[in-house]
Structure 1
Amino acid sequence: MKYHKIDAQLYLKNRKNFAAAMKPNSLAIFNSNDTYPISADSTMPFEQHRDILYLSGVDQEESVLMLFPDCPNENLREVLFVTETNDHIAVWEGAKLTKEAALETSGIKTVFWLQDLEKVLFEMSSYCDTLYINTNEHYRANTTTETREDRFTKWLLAKYPAHSVAKSNPILQRLRAVKDPIELDLMQNACDITDKGFRRILDFIKPGVWEYEIEAELLHEFVRNRSKGFAYTPIIASGNNANVLHYVENNQQCKAGDLILFDVAAEYANYKSDLSRTVPVSGKFSDRQKAVYNAVNHVKKEATKLLVPGTLWKEYHVEVGNIMTSELLKLGLLDKADIQNEDKNWPAYKQYFMHGTSHHIGLDTHDYGLLHEPMQANNVFTVEPGIYIPKEGFGIRLEDDVVVQAKGEPINLMGNIPIEANEIEDIMQG
């Protein structure tokens, strides 16, 4: 890992909170992700399952965590399994966690080699009544790949059919949505790295550069600051490419007079940031571009003020839609007849702003959080309104990451990243 060591107190607290929400006499099990093959002997870079990472800090494949708060054997209340390492593995693959290093990382005192899992699990299962399995119930989840967790769950339920079954995910959705101060510091670091990358490209952009050249500049700056790289697939969309919401080809040349929409950000220690900015290729907005830009920025500022404890997700998006409608009327993109005749299930503003304004962010870019429950302090949300006008050849999106506060307006983790149109022009022309 490139990132600095994280205080194990975070994981001790996370496990304590999870255990407090479990049923009596129950055992919860969490698995690492697979290392996924590409072809021949090639594999994709390993990405740890966020749940075992959240509860243990172990950022290594083939690891298993078991939590059994009521276990009569006190040594088996928190158990971590890691793959046995040796000198041969260290030479070919690099050092893996020893039992001592696993303890230091996670704060878990009982660490076994993975080969002992079935034997230890047999003893633990004889004490417990309920098994917690970890299914993916995120509202955006849509995958056909069978994960290591899926395979383990099939095996576990076949092996121990007499046990009751419960779900870990609802507990984790609530816990992971509320960030610890240590997590907020890690997310701030990701945002600060993103800031460095964005300022770098403001000095680099000029007519004739290619979108992929800008991507390379960003990656360079992110990695040199201890990030693995992009928090998600980067969008660097010049001209009309900005009107394709998930444009990721990044293979076009940037032309004078066009805008470039960026949706690109760094991760740090597996925590994500999520930034959108839109800048002029030539260093100066046209009057029309600036008017639309300022409208989007106004909606973003007003939407941010709504992210306070007690706000309901659906009501928030309705209100943001009203703010956007007002701006689109001022820009002449909508008229009163459009509003009067709109379909309430797809309001008129959706012609120009068709996506949501906010989502949770944390260990995942679209992080855990139950959207039917009111917002609360230390939730972290993106705020990302946009206006997309294919007929005029540009689209504008602006996005920051903000932390809901117990009192007052949210704190913007990206408050230092240039966003005002005049500020961006001054930097690019300076």
Structure 2
Amino acid sequence: MKYDPIDSQLFVKNRKKFMQRMKAKSIAVFNSNDIYPIGADATMPFEQDRDLFYLSGADQEETILILFPDALNPKHRELLFVRETNAHIAVWEGAKLTKEDATRVSGIQTVYWLSDFDKIFFDLMTEAETIYFNTNEHYRQAVETQTREDRFIRKCKQNFPAHQWAKSNPILQEIRGIKEPEEIAIMQIACNITEKGFRRVLEFVKPGVFEYEIEAEFLHEFVRNRSKGFAYTPIIASGNNANVLHYIENNQECKEGELILMDLAAEYANYSSDMTRTIPVSGRFTARQRAVYDAVLRVKEQATKMLVPGTLWAEYHKEVGKIMTSELLGLGLLDKAAVQNEDPDWPAYKKYFMHGTSHHIGLNTHDYGALKTPMKANMVFTVEPGIYIPEEGFGVRLEDDVVIQESGEPFNLMQNIPLAAEEIEELMNA
């Protein structure tokens, strides 16, 4: 792994939080992700299942975690199974986790080879009454591929039909949404790497560069700072491309007078950052571009102040919509009649700002976290309003990542990344 080692005490704390919420005589199992094929002998780069990583720190394929707080043998209350390594594997694939390495990374004292899993798991299930299955219940999930977890659940239901079943996801939604200090520190590193990439690009952009060249500049800076690369597929959208919310082709020339909307950020140690900035190709905003930019910035600043303990996510978005409506009226994009006659289910402002303002961020860019209950301290949210004007050939979105504080305004993990229009112009013309 490129990243510096993470103190195993983080994963010890995470497991403790999960196990405290488990039913009596219950067992929970977490599987690593598969390595997915491309074709021939090629595979996609491995990405660890984020729940398994959150609870163990094990960043390796063919890994299984078992949590069984009521196991009769104290050594079997936390178990990690890893793929047995040997000299041949070390030569062809590189070093894998030894049992000692797995303990050092995870803080789990009992580590077995994966080949022992079926025998040990059967024995533990004779003591358990309930098994927690780790299903993906994220509100945006749209998974069509059968995962290693899916195959395990199907096999387990066949082999142990008399056991009760429970869901890990409600527990994970609750505990993953509230970040530990160590997690926030890792996310700060990801944001700092993103800042380095953005400052590099401000010096690079000029009329005639291509969107993919900007992507390459970011990637260079990210990897040289120990990131695997982008936390999600980068959006580098010049001109009217910005009005396609998930534009990822990144293959067009950036022309004089246009704006470039860049929604991209670095990952670090599997944690995401999520940034959007909009900059002028020529280094100066036009008067109209500046007016829209400043309107988006005002919405962002006011929305950020609302992210405090007790705020309800749904109500927050309604309030942001009211602020955006006021700004769109001021820009002449809406008139009072359109607002007065709007459809409550699709307010007038949605014509120019059609997506949400904030989502949880952490091990996933769109992270797990409670959304139907009041916000709590140490939740980390994006703030990302935008205004999209196809008829004028540009769009503006601005986005930072903020940590909700026990009192006062949230802490902006991206406070050092240039944002004000004056600073953007100054750095681009230095």
Q: TM-score, normalised by structure 1?
A: 1.00
Per the alignment, residue 142 of structure 1 pairs with 142
1:252 partnered with 2:246: no
- CA deviation after TM superposition for structure 1 residue 143, in Å: 1.2
Per the alignment, residue 352 of structure 1 pairs with 352
- CA deviation after TM superposition for structure 1 residue 177, in Å: 0.2
Per the alignment, residue 407 of structure 1 pairs with 407
Work out the CA distance in 2 between the residues paired with 1:324 and 1:144: 36
Work out the CA distance in 2 between the residues paired with 1:316 and 1:400: 17
Work out the CA distance in 1 between the residues paired with 2:3 and 2:256: 39
Deviations 1:59-90 (A, max 9, x none): 00000000000111111000000000001100
Per the alignment, residue 274 of structure 1 pairs with 274
Q: Secondary structure at the match of 2:131?
A: strand
Per the alignment, residue 388 of structure 1 pairs with 388
Per the alignment, residue 302 of structure 2 pairs with 302
Work out the CA distance in 1 between the residues paired with 2:128 and 2:247: 50
Per the alignment, residue 91 of structure 1 pairs with 91
1:182 partnered with 2:182: yes
Deviations 1:219-268 (A, max 9, x none): 00000000000000000000000000000000000000000000010000
Work out the CA distance in 2 between the residues paired with 1:201 and 1:370: 35
Per the alignment, residue 107 of structure 1 pairs with 107
Identity of aligned residues (%): 69
> Superposed, which structure 2 residues align to 1:42-53 within 5 Å?
42-53=42-53
Q: Secondary structure at the match of 2:230?
A: coil
Q: Structure 2: which amino acid aligns with 1:392?
A: E
Deviations 1:166-202 (A, max 9, x none): 1000000010000000000000000000000000000
Moved over 2 A (4+): none
Work out the CA distance in 1 between the residues paired with 2:333 and 2:93: 57
Q: Secondary structure at the match of 1:387?
A: strand
Per the alignment, residue 29 of structure 1 pairs with 29
> Superposed, which structure 2 residues align to 1:211-290 within 5 Å?
211-290=211-290
Per the alignment, residue 4 of structure 1 pairs with 4
Work out the CA distance in 1 between the residues paired with 2:75 and 2:206: 62
- CA deviation after TM superposition for structure 1 residue 122, in Å: 1.2
Alignment gaps of 5+ in structure 2: none
Q: Secondary structure at the match of 1:23?
A: coil
Per the alignment, residue 423 of structure 1 pairs with 423
Q: Structure 2: which amino acid aligns with 1:413?
A: L
Work out the CA distance in 2 between the residues paired with 1:143 and 1:70: 33
Work out the CA distance in 1 between the residues paired with 2:316 and 2:231: 26
Work out the CA distance in 2 between the residues paired with 1:333 and 1:51: 44
Per the alignment, residue 194 of structure 2 pairs with 194
Per the alignment, residue 68 of structure 1 pairs with 68
1:204 partnered with 2:207: no
- CA deviation after TM superposition for structure 1 residue 93, in Å: 0.1
Work out the CA distance in 2 between the residues paired with 1:359 and 1:353: 16
Q: Structure 2: which amino acid aligns with 1:332?
A: G
Q: TM-score, normalised by structure 2?
A: 1.00
Work out the CA distance in 1 between the residues paired with 2:170 and 2:121: 24
Q: Secondary structure at the match of 2:388?
A: strand
- CA deviation after TM superposition for structure 1 residue 123, in Å: 1.1
> Superposed, which structure 2 residues align to 1:370-389 within 5 Å?
370-389=370-389
Q: Structure 1: which amino acid aligns with 2:232?
A: Y
Q: Secondary structure at the match of 1:66?
A: strand
- CA deviation after TM superposition for structure 1 residue 301, in Å: 0.3
Q: Structure 1: which amino acid aligns with 2:158?
A: A
1:331 partnered with 2:341: no
Work out the CA distance in 2 between the residues paired with 1:352 and 1:417: 26
Work out the CA distance in 2 between the residues paired with 1:77 and 1:242: 51
Q: Structure 1: which amino acid aligns with 2:53?
A: L
Work out the CA distance in 2 between the residues paired with 1:323 and 1:228: 38
Q: Structure 1: which amino acid aligns with 2:92?
A: W
Alignment gaps of 5+ in structure 1: none
Work out the CA distance in 2 between the residues paired with 1:120 and 1:80: 11
Work out the CA distance in 2 between the residues paired with 1:427 and 1:133: 51
Work out the CA distance in 1 between the residues paired with 2:274 and 2:147: 26
- CA deviation after TM superposition for structure 1 residue 369, in Å: 1.1
Q: Structure 1: which amino acid aligns with 2:281?
A: V
- CA deviation after TM superposition for structure 1 residue 370, in Å: 2.2
Work out the CA distance in 2 between the residues paired with 1:94 and 1:261: 40
Q: Secondary structure at the match of 1:127?
A: coil
